[in-house]
Structure 1
Amino acid sequence: MHRIKVLPNYLTKRLERWRATTFDDNREWFSHLAQHGQHPRAMFISCCDSRVDPVAMFEGEPGDFFLVRNVANLVPPYAPDSELHGTSAAIEYAVTVLGVSHIVVMGHSGCGGVEACYEKCEGNPADWEEQTSFVSRWMDILVPGYDRIKDHEGDRGERLSALGHEGIKVSLENLLTFPFVSDAVTDGKLALHGVWTDIASGDLHAYDGAAEEFRSV
């Protein structure tokens, strides 16, 4: 463990500022959270991309949102086995323990994971070896989405956007394969949502399941 280093100076400086401002101004609320636990109303499944922050976009405060971030905001299908499933474990905890009322799958423009899946399916894989790359194997979740847009008319940018939208739909479909999610939705205790944001413009498109289309919000 001798190769593990302490936090870089720029992060410790930011921590000091946070303690002196945000934390100190809300010390009572943080104490309440520590004593009484978390009770978030919504769970967000969003991309790891540093340019997308659902907490900031939806003006979240500590305790508001239960968050999962992974490459391309994907949800794998329900598959209890010997594999390690971080996203699936978080979904289980959010629904069965925290009892969240909403799960929001949030995609975005310019997603590197979506682009990697697109190139792979187009026969132009990236440098990583398919059998040893975690990213390549993870993006297999999105292949059903590519199959739905492969004949999509338009330029490459439009096709990538279409695939990003399909990724959200694939994740919503996979969420419903989890028995505890499906049961909670059927019982009216849980609602599922899909949104896609354009990083440059700040526009948000929300999925309308009844109309089967994304609409501007």
Structure 2
Amino acid sequence: MPYRHALPAYLAKRYHGWKATTYAENKSWYKRLAEDGQHPRAMVISCCDSRVHVTSIFGADQGEFFIHRNVANLVPPYNPDGEYHGTSAAVEYAVNTLKVSHLIVLGHSNCGGVAGCYHMCAGNAPELEDKSSFVGRWMDILRPGYDRLPNGTDADRLTALEKESVLVSLENLMTFPFVKAAVESENLSLHGLWNDIGEGTLEAYTDDAGYQAV
């Protein structure tokens, strides 16, 4: 059975609209980007969630951000074991090759991946405990964050775990020798953010004050 098909008509229509307007009006800029390569100042690690739109939040143009997305915006600990490491490879490329100055981890409200971790760790999602669950094994990265949750309602603890997903990722980033070296030499700064999708608010984490509104 054939499984590779033409682009859906509505997406093709949007593409042609973009090509005739945005691209046509900025053709020289796109050609310059293509010829000069990318020189982003920042890398953003965000969730795959379709509601999280990094470039819209920051009003960014092409070439400004090196963006990596995965379930629940997680970074695994440094572990060069020869297996597949999409997130670790993206971090390595951003820090060692692109020489970004800022590395931002962006979490968000109502994260399905974080909710899955919460229910798995609470013993209410046995399907995620199965060794064959890609989501479950990926969410194992966040277990240390679950263990740090304060007492409270499920809703409050879920929000807290969303914010822990950012902190766990920042902690894991510092286990990468090249990230640690770049931070200590002040060539790289790490940032943790949490976005409330419904309210449109953004909170930033600092070691001194915790999460505060931007």
Residue identity in the other structure for 2:43: M
Secondary structure, aligned partner of 2:193: strand
d(CA) in 2 for partners of 1:203, 1:61: 21
The one-letter amino acid of 1:153's match is N
Contact 2:127 2:133 in 1 (8 A): no
Count of residue correspondences: 214
Residue 38 of structure 2: aligned partner? 38
Partner of 2:208: 210
Pairing of 1:74-113 with structure 2 (within 5 A): 74-113=74-113
After TM superposition, list the pairs within 5 Å mapping 1:115-194 onto structure 2. 115-125=115-125, 127-128=127-128, 130-149=130-149, 152-194=150-192
Structure 2: where are the runs of 5+ without partners? none
Distance of 1:46 and 1:98 partners within structure 2: 18
Aligned-partner Cα distance in 2 for 1:76–1:43: 16
**Please, what TM-score do these two structures have when normalized by structure 1?**
0.96
**Which amino acid is the alignment partner of residue 175 of structure 2?**
T
Matching residue's letter, 1:21: T
* C-alpha separation in 2, matches of 1:76 and 1:21: 40
Once superposed, which parts of structure 1, at least 4 consecutive aligned residues long, lie more than 2 Å away? 126-129
Tell whether 2:10 aligns with 1:10.
Answer: yes
**Would the aligned equivalents of 2:120 and 2:128 in 1 still touch at CA under 8 Å?**
no
Contact 2:120–2:129 (8 Å) recurs in 1:
no
Contact 1:116 1:126 in 2 (8 A): no
TM-score (norm 2): 0.97
> 1:177-215 deviations in whole A, cap 9, x for unaligned?
00110000000100000000001000111001233x100
Aligned residue for 1:160, secondary structure, equals helix
Q: Percent identity?
A: 57
CA RMSD of aligned residues (A): 1.1
Q: Which runs of 5+ in 1 are unaligned?
A: none
Change (3 A) 1:112 1:171: same
Checking the alignment, whether the CA contact within 8 Å between 2:102 and 2:191 is kept in structure 1 is yes
